[in-house]
Amino acid sequence: MTLKARVIPCLDVKDGRVVKGVNFVDLVDAGDPVEAAKAYDAAGADELCFLDITASHEGRDTIFDVVRRTAEACFMPLTVGGGVRSVEDIRRLLIAGADKVSINTAAVKEPDFVRHAAKKFGSQCIVVSIDAKQVNAAGEPERFEIFTHGGRNATGIDAVEFARKVVELGAGELLVTSMDRDGTKAGYNIALTRAIADAVPVPVIASGGVGALEHMVEGIRDGHATAVLAASIFHFGTYTIHEAKEHMAAAGIAMRLDA
């Protein structure tokens, strides 16, 4: 097979600005998500992801302009998530130029929303974002639970069961974030990634916890993901996209190195 594993940088966007900035290249305006997107496009990223963390209602419309300007400049797939709660939210993002939208809290609260969205726009553009923590004690069978609100609120929902359910409802891809690893740089929760990837027929993106290039290899090789998402190691210039892809290729993973 020659389908390549994907490396996806993810930018947190708030009120139309990149949170924490991106300092790996000489950007005119490192706070402009479009400038950062262009730099990642040129660097050979396989897809881009924007996570809109805007809290205020007034600020929410800024993402549409960011997506529109990005789609004018970057000819690569773009996924947008954060605050996607209605069919109208999805429609506006797709019209602005997003290729896929990721649904998180709304899918947990109302799984049927996934079915409506997939029916209306096609499974290919509906990503369900699953935030989960490993909740079993050491020595017990592995158990993973969905958390919302940035990992603060437990839901009691089994992550693997939830993954199966949203795929049946029409999700075309799953973004699996290990909330117990997010920000730790200790690597993806491979047990979580693999449990979900092996349970569903659709592609899984591993997320949460990347601190080293080897973690990306583990996400694909051991976690059975087909794509890896990372934020800070790229934004802070620790590694370039190309270094990540070269490292993964050297570990025997088929990568796209021509970009």
The values of phi and psi at residue 162, to 5°, are -60, -40
Contacts of another protein in 81-140 (CB under 8 A): 94-99, 121-125
Contacts of another protein in 51-70 (CB under 8 A): 68
Q: Which of 13, 44, 82 is nearest to 259 (CA)?
A: 44
26 is catalytic: no
DSSP assignment letter at 6: E
What 3-state class would DSSP assign to 53?
A: coil
Q: Please give the Cα distance from 184 to 37 (Å, whole number).
A: 24
Min. distance of Cβ 172 from another protein in angstroms? 6
DSSP assignment letter at 12: E
What 3-state class would DSSP assign to 72?
A: helix
Site string for another protein, 144-173 (x = CB under 8 A): ----------------------------xx
Q: Which amino acid is at 11?
A: L
Tell which one of 11, 13, 71, 169 touches another protein (CB under 8 A).
71
Min. distance of Cβ 24 from another protein in angstroms? 19
131 is catalytic: yes
Rule CB under 8 A: which residues touch another protein? Answer: 1-6, 41, 46, 68, 71-72, 75-77, 94-99, 121-125, 172-173, 201-204, 226-227, 256, 258-259
Query: Which residues are known catalytic residues?
Result: 12, 131
